[in-house]
Amino acid sequence: MTEHVLVTGGAGFIGRSVCRELLERGNRVRVLDSLIDQVHGGAGRPQDLPADVELIEADVRDGDAVSAALGGIDSVIHLAAEVGVGQSMYEVERYTSTNDVGTAVLFEKLIAQPVRRVVTASSMSIYGEGLYQTADGEIVQDAQRSALRDGLANWEPKDAEGRPLTPLPTPEWKQPSLSSIYALNKYVQERTTHIMAAPYGMEGVCLRLFNVYGPGQALSNPYTGVLAIFASRLLNGQPPMIFEDGGQRRDFVQVRDVARAFAEALVHPDAAGGTFNVGSGQHRSVNDVATELARAMGREDIAPEIVGKARTGDIRHCYCDPRLARDRLGFEAQEDFQEGLADLAEWVSRQEADDRVGKARSELEAHGLVA
């Protein structure tokens, strides 16, 4: 099935890859994107946004622009969002306005111009801490860490008796634990999608993305994905800056896999009404990933800087249980992590990036968000 698809936020890192995937499958693609400076640096239309994509430069909160963008559209992929856990904790109005109000505007306009299906990008951040189990084998959905102000002893979540919990792959049924404004925003986007779609004859789908990486990330944006932040530092001869002790574990998924997941979620008959994890199903420590990226970039001489402090809203371990997406959508990540790192390193070698990580850390510290 080929359609005319609107991709909000489609000029961004994930969006451009989604657009390419949709075009390869024979769809027509229109993008609504505000091209904000923090992501695009004032550069205008991205060079790697396919020429066949129609671009409308407008804010998703602009109702008239959204109505115009929906003209003749069959389905929507909703990616438009401010992204960044730390920044969301002090730019609360900006994040909530773009993410939650923007989603509300989109669905309000869809009342008069309904489409077949809306696929909304959510985030693993809504889980907070991932799923754990106790030494006795009991499942823990609400793992907590102590206030992190008295050092390394508190990095790992513990049970009521003070024993470390064991992390497990996190499934969609795990209860949310919203530990940042960004996480709250993404959960609101999810619920808005599911609440608004069916009553107006549409199908709603949400994809909870884990740590997406790949060529095309905004290297000068210090609030983007962790691999892009590390790459920017290494490109400028600076060590990757790692909070806590670097032992926190994450699931890294290549952007081409993510684009395939969106394309499948747009058409698969069993996707309607569902919420699905999109990750690789593998997990790595942040410290190991920083070391591997340095090796891929030929900068083995630059060791990561272990900050030994935590940021408000950060969690210890969260990685993907991919079984529901496999069973319901037939989606499995295919990209090899080492090959993905090599692709990222090769692309980064041809880029220039302003290293703004120090400034971002100073802003967090100034707001009391680093302990």
Strand pairing category for 166-167 and 252-254: unpaired
Angstrom distance (rounded) from CA 155 to CA 139: 20
Contact in structure between 299 and 340 (CB atoms under 8 Å): no
Angstrom distance (rounded) from CA 58 to CA 293: 35
Q: Which residue in the list 182, 187, 213, 223 is annotated as catalytic? A: 182
By the 10 Å C-beta count (0-12 exposed, 13-18 middle, 19+ buried), 305 is classed as middle
By the 10 Å C-beta count (0-12 exposed, 13-18 middle, 19+ buried), 312 is classed as middle
Joined tokens for residue 76: 């929507």
Joined tokens for residue 282: 């593998």
- 182 belongs to the catalytic site: yes
Query: Quick one: residue 303, left, alpha or beta (phi over 0 = left, psi -120 to 50 = alpha)?
Result: beta
Catalytically active residues are: 182
